Amino acid sequence: MPVIQIDAGPMSKEKKAELIKNLTDAASSTLNIPAQAFIVIIRENSLDNVGSGGKPLSETINK
């Protein structure tokens, strides 16, 4: 059973559903595996817990 994992910022329930569908459809089509075989795991991270360029994203995105 293929597993797709993605780390992202907080998002609405609707956005998560859209992301799960789009990732599953793309992987299913690319790998020629039925969509029902895929598991998608979304890990939501606070922007304080992710850094880029030596700074938390919460400091760079919100400015």
CATH number at residue 40: 3.30.429.10
Query: What confidence tier does 60 reach under pLDDT thresholds 50, 70, 90?
Result: confident
Q: Is the pTM of this model over 0.85?
A: no
Query: What confidence tier does 30 reach under pLDDT thresholds 50, 70, 90?
Result: very high
Domain that holds residue 47: 3-59
> Hey, which bits of 1-63 come out as E strands?
3-8, 39-44, 51-52, 55-56
d(CA 3, CA 33): 12
Q: For residue 53, is it left (φ>0), alpha (ψ between -120 and 50) or beta?
A: left
Our count of domains for the chain comes to 1
Query: What confidence tier does 62 reach under pLDDT thresholds 50, 70, 90?
Result: low
d(CA 1, CA 39): 7
Our CA angle for 25, 47, 23, nearest 5°, is 5
